[in-house]
Amino acid sequence: MEQYGTTHLVPLALFVGGLVLAVVLGRRHAAYDGPTALSRTWAVLIPVATVPFQVVDLMFNFELGVTLPLHLCDLAWVAATWALWTHRPFPVALTFFWGLTLTVQGVLTPSLNEDLPHPRYFAFWALHLLIVLAAVYLVAGLRLVPRWRDYGAAVLTTLAWAAATYAFNLVADTNYGYLMRKPGRSILDLLGPWPWYVVQEIAIVLAAWALMTAAAQRWLRRGG
Look at residue 152 and tell me if it is in a domain. Answer: yes
Identify whether 119 is part of a domain. yes
Label residue 224 by pLDDT band (50, 70, 90): low
Number of domains in the chain: 1
Task: Measure the CA angle with vertex 98, ends 12 and 53; round to 5°.
Answer: 60
- Per-residue pLDDT reduced to its tens digit, 14-33: 999 999 999 999 999 888 88
Residue 108 exposed, middle or buried by CB count within 10 Å (0-12, 13-18, 19+): middle
Q: How does DSSP classify residue 176?
A: G
pLDDT at 159 over 70: yes
**Considering only 25-34, 84-93, 145-154, which range has the smallest mean pLDDT?**
25-34
Please name the residues in contact with 44: beta carbons below 8 A apart, sequence gap of 6 or more.
Answer: 81
Residue 1 falls inside a structural domain: no
In sequence order, what E strands does the chain have? none
Most confident residue range from 63-72, 118-127, 171-180: 171-180
Of the candidates 114, 144, 139, the one whose C-alpha atom is nearest the C-alpha of residue 53 is: 114
- Domain of 207 in residue numbering reads as 6-221
Q: Is residue 204 part of a domain?
A: yes
Contact 152, 38 (CB under 8 A): no
Quick check: 192 pLDDT over 70? yes
